[in-house]
Amino acid sequence: MHILVCGGAGYVGAHAALAATRAGHDITVLDNFSTGHRPAVRWGRLVEADILKPETLDAAFERPVDAVMHFCARSLVGESVQEPYAYYENNVMGTLNLLQAMRQHDVGKLVFSSTAAIFGNPVSALIDEDHPKAPINPYGASKLMVERILADAASAYGLRSTCLRYFNAAGAAPEEGIGESHQPETHLIPNVLRAALGTGPELRIFGDDYDTVDGTCVRDYVHVLDLADAHLRALGLMSDVDGAHAFNLGNGQGFSVRQVLEAGRQVSGREIPHVQAARRDGDPAVLVASSSKARSVLGWNPVHTQLESIIDSAWRWHQAQAY
């Protein structure tokens, strides 16, 4: 297949491009480099374009495209609260522009990078696909809007789509020179490792009085290469089945902030400078996925399930400081 990877210079997009290339697919990466990294574009050809500028998108479809993987998004929760218009413009309007271009060029398959943020505060220990969807920030709301658009597009235009709702993407492919680098960095594992290396500030632990094993928040971490594998499996599903589909992707087990901190110390062999801080508004105590639907329908089984293994891959990439 010829796959257009929109946002392929970003964290998950670059790993998806790697996985698709390893599987024998032809890749075109589309990115505007607002947050992506040029050194991460290592597979396929590059089209520098912007989903907010529809006139730039045609260049990505000069060669017939069989399917699109869509990772272009603003994704900082706090920023989305401060700048909601920018999030709805990029994540919703930008996606509509991409969908219009796909329709014009007769491309009928899309894998969409969604998020656990569509669920809001959890009402059950494990979050499955039927969990109530009540996002508490514009980022989650914008992603849920796109999921609704894709469901409508399936009915109106026959678009086949799969929404993959990540929990906490983590890890890297250090042997391929790609990993996680955001500015600002808001994710726990890279901040633990940057603190260990001295390339980032001391880690701040937000809250120590939650009803969890050690009082700190518990999250579900899934290796980015396992996420990439799910994207390929979604393409296989859409080759056989019509309609709009959605799957939650996580390990199904949670780790507390202090457990991640300790695993980072064990992997790096370094102390992690850290301070205790007050709770952040809107942080649930526990967020853990049920991925049983992805396992049964997609045949998806995460390979990198041990926290130490996930952190080790990220640690080796951060040490190399590739970008």
281 pLDDT more than 80: no
CB 41 within 8 A of CB 49: no
Q: How many other β-carbons are positioned within 10 Å of the β-carbon of residue 214?
A: 12
| 9 and 151 fall within a common domain | yes
The model carries a pTM of: 0.95
Q: Look up tokens 């998108």; give the residue.
A: 57
Q: 2: which strand partners?
A: 26
CATH number for position 156: 3.40.50.720
Q: Is the pLDDT of residue 42 over 80?
A: yes
Mean pLDDT to the nearest integer, 256-275: 97
Separation between Cα atoms, residue 136 and residue 115, nearest integer Å: 13
Q: Do 166 and 180 fall into the same domain? A: no
Active site residue 85: no
Q: Structurally, how many domains does the chain consist of? A: 2
What pLDDT sits at residue 182?
Answer: 86
Q: Which of 11, 139, 166, 210 is catalytic?
A: 139
Q: What share of the chain is helix, strand, coil (3-state, %, to 5)?
A: 40, 20, 40
Give residue 294's domain range: 174-219+252-320
Domain end: 249, 267, 300, which one?
249
Reported confidence tier of residue 283, pLDDT bands at 50, 70, 90: confident
**Alpha carbons 179 and 10: distance in angstroms, whole number:** 9
- Whether residue 154 sits in one domain with residue 24: yes
Both 152 and 199 in one domain: the answer is no
- Name the band, by pLDDT with cuts 50, 70 and 90, for residue 78: confident
Peptide bond into 184 cis (omega under 30): yes
* Judgement on whether residues 188 and 289 belong to the same structural domain of the protein: yes
**pLDDT of 273:** 96
Report pLDDT digits (tens) over 136-150: 999 999 999 999 999
Instruction: Using alpha carbons, list the distances in angstroms from residue 83 to 78, 118, 215.
Output: 9, 18, 31
| pLDDT, position 322 | 66
Q: Note whether 138 and 80 are within 8 A (CB).
A: yes
Distances in Å between the alpha carbon of 299 and those of 113, 114, 245? Answer: 19, 19, 15
> Which are the contacts of 25, defined by CB distance < 8 A and separation ≥ 6?
1, 2, 3
118 and 61 inside one domain? yes
Shared domain for 21 and 120, answered yes or no, is: yes
**How many residues are recorded in the chain?**
323
Q: Looking at the structure, do residues 96 and 17 belong to the same domain, yes or no?
A: yes
Q: What mean pLDDT is reported for the chain?
A: 95
Among 125, 116, 118, 289, residue whose Cα is nearest residue 211: 125
- Mean pLDDT (whole number) for 44-60: 97
Q: What is the pLDDT of residue 282?
A: 72
Same domain, 96 and 190: no
Share of the chain above pLDDT 90, in %: 92
Both 178 and 166 in a single domain?
Answer: no
Query: Long-range contacts made by residues 23-31, C-beta under 8 angstroms, separation at least 24?
Result: 23/232, 25/1, 26/1, 26/2, 27/2, 27/3, 28/2, 28/3, 28/4, 28/60, 28/63, 28/65, 29/5, 30/4, 30/5, 30/6, 30/57, 30/60, 30/72, 31/6, 31/7, 31/72
Task: Let me know whether 138 and 99 are in one domain.
Answer: yes
Neighbours of 306 (CB within 10 A): 12
CATH number, residue 277: 3.90.25.10
Beta pairing partners, 48: 31
Query: Residue 173 — very low, low, confident or very high, per pLDDT cuts 50/70/90?
Result: very high
How many beta carbons lie within 10 A of that of residue 303, not counting itself?
Answer: 9
Same domain for 309 and 235: no
Kindly report, residue by residue over 81-128, the tens digit of the pLDDT.
999 999 999 999 999 999 999 999 999 999 999 999 999 989 998 999
Tens digits of residue pLDDT in 32-41:
999 999 999 9
